[in-house]
């Protein structure tokens, strides 16, 4: 059964390394994310080059060129804010700075993205594109 997505809704997400922490742990960072609109997804995917082994070799994997750009643009649009416990090395709360394009689209500014570890941004990209649903591999780990 297909479940409809509310494109205006946001959801809270915790990076897998933090999920083992208690909810009241001050080091457990909680993020607010949102799904991308179909227009945003299309704009991101338009800049991607996909290569496949072809239908005659279905066991060979596809390669995607441009994943870094996909992840960057997805998180830039889909990250709403750090809900709680995103801190710098001195323990100060870090605020996510957002800008607004002329078309009304909000985005996270590069200075804020640079403060988020690369591994967290990559997992965050996956959470945004799957609307916070874990894939089977992630559930096993």
pLDDT in tens, 88-126: 999 999 999 999 988 888 999 999 999 999 999 999 999
Read off the pLDDT band of 140 (50, 70, 90).
Answer: very low
HSE, CB side, 13 Å, CA atoms: give it for residue 109: 8
Which stretches does DSSP call E strand in the chain? 11-13, 30-33, 49-51, 63-65, 79-84, 98-100, 106-108
- Predicted TM-score (pTM) of the model is 0.78
Q: Domain ranges in the chain? A: 11-47+62-136
pLDDT in tens, 1-50: 888 888 788 999 999 999 999 988 989 999 999 999 998 988 888 766 65
State the pLDDT at residue 5.
Answer: 81
């Amino acid at each position: 059964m297909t479940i409809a997505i509310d494109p205006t809704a946001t959801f809270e997400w915790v990076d897998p390394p933090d999920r083992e922490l208690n909810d009241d742990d001050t080091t457990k960072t909680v993020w607010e994310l949102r799904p991308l609109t179909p227009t945003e997804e299309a704009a991101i995917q338009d800049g991607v080059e996909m290569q496949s082994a072809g239908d005659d070799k279905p066991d060979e994997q596809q390669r995607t060129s441009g994943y870094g750009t996909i992840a960057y643009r997805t998180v830039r649009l889909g990250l709403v804010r750090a809900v709680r416990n995103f801190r710098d090395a001195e323990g100060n709360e870090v605020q996510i700075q957002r800008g607004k394009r002329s078309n009304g689209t909000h985005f996270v500014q590069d200075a804020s993205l640079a403060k988020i570890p690369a591994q967290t941004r990559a997992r965050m990209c996956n959470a945004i594109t799957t609307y916070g649903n874990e894939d089977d591999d992630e559930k096993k780990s």
